[in-house]
């Protein structure tokens, strides 16, 4: 019987992502339950008012998030567990998919016409993904060793450094994963009818407004 110690198994990155999605869903549901009884400090009757401006900016952020996550998936789709991806958006930031999720969260919160919801949604998303990223970094460090550690030391985690940009003229794309990422990102758009539905219910008196937020 061999006394050679067995290597610790690599972290199950798929399980981490599954838990992350469950946590995000739970936090989203909890946040939405709070937003049911809050309303923007600024009235929404005036189309040129601050309420509508915040919603419009938020819609732009939603589009940026969807396009950005789809663009990032062109580079990472199907490669995350097999190689260190360091091209395109991954040459300037180690987690561009997550950065665009932060932007999407801000856009989703902004659909309620106030900055508070946008900031709260962003901070909650950053908190959850920061925990996930640490676990992913452990997995990637164990799997790829020095190449990943060098990449980690060179490229920032979230804040892009555009001076590091690198790209290639041709890229092999996993269309199935790209389409799936695009469809997943489109879930952010659900914030629009949800916010409009809450505002309509509040206007009709079906939902009480317990507090106003800026």
Can you give the pLDDT at residue 15? 63
State the Cα torsion 91-97-98-102 to the nearest 10°. 110
Beta strands in the chain (DSSP E): 38-40, 211-213
Q: Which has the closest alpha carbon to 85: 142, 4, 166? A: 166
Q: Domain for residue 18, yes or no?
A: no
Q: Domain for residue 47, yes or no?
A: no
> Residue 95's domain is classified under what CATH number?
1.20.120
Q: Domain for residue 12, yes or no?
A: no
Half-sphere exposure of 86 (CA within 13 A, CB side): 13
Q: Domain for residue 22, yes or no?
A: no
Domain span at 63: 55-213
Mean pLDDT of the region 86-95: 97
* Surface-to-core class of residue 206, CB atoms within 10 Å of its CB (0-12 exposed, 13-18 middle, 19+ buried): exposed
Instruction: Kindly indicate the confidence band of residue 99, based on its pLDDT and cuts at 50, 70 and 90.
Output: very high
107: left (phi over 0), alpha (psi -120 to 50) or beta: alpha
Can you give the pLDDT at residue 46? 58
The count of structural domains within the chain is 1
Q: Domain for residue 64, yes or no?
A: yes
Q: Domain for residue 29, yes or no?
A: no
Q: Is 211 helix (H, G, I), strand (E, B) or coil?
A: strand
Q: Domain for residue 40, yes or no?
A: no
User: How big, in percent rounded to 5, are the helix, strand and coil portions of the chain?
Assistant: 65, 5, 30
Tell me the C-alpha to C-alpha distance, in Å, between residue 210 and each of 41, 46, 104, 184, 206: 12, 22, 27, 33, 13
Instruction: Kindly indicate the confidence band of residue 5, based on its pLDDT and cuts at 50, 70 and 90.
Output: very low
Residues 6+ apart with CB under 8 A from 69: 97, 100, 101, 104, 181, 182, 184, 185
Tell which wins on pLDDT, 142 or 27. Answer: 142
Q: What is the pLDDT of residues 151-174, one digit of tens each?
A: 999 999 999 999 999 999 999 999
Q: Domain for residue 20, yes or no?
A: no
Q: What is the pLDDT of residues 106-152, one digit of tens each?
A: 999 999 999 999 999 999 999 999 998 998 999 899 999 999 999 99
Q: Three-state SS string across 48-106, please?
A: CCHHHHHHHHHHHHHHHHHHHHHHHHHHHCCCCCCCCCCCHHHHCCCCHHHHHHHHHHH
């Amino acid at each position: 019987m061999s006394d050679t110690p067995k290597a610790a198994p690599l972290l199950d990155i798929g399980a981490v992502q599954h838990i992350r999605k469950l946590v995000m869903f739970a936090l989203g549901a909890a946040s939405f339950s709070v937003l049911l009884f809050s309303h923007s400090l600024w009235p929404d009757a005036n189309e040129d008012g601050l309420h509508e401006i915040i919603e419009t900016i938020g819609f732009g952020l939603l589009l940026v998030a969807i396009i950005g996550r789809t663009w990032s998936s062109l580079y990472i789709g199907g490669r995350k567990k097999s190689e260190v991806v360091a091209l395109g958006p991954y040459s300037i930031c180690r987690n561009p998919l997550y950065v665009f999720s932060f932007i999407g969260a801000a856009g989703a919160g902004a659909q309620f016409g106030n900055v508070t919801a946008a900031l709260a949604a962003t901070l909650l998303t950053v908190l959850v993904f920061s925990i996930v990223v640490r676990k992913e970094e452990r997995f990637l460090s164990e799997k790829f060793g020095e190449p990943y550690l060098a990449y980690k030391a060179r490229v920032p985690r979230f804040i892009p450094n555009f001076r590091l940009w690198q790209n290639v003229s041709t890229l092999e794309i996993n269309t199935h994963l790209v389409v799936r990422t695009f469809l997943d990102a489109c879930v952010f758009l659900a914030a629009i009818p949800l916010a409009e539905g809450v505002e309509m219910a509040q206007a009709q008196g079906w939902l009480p407004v317990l507090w106003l937020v800026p």
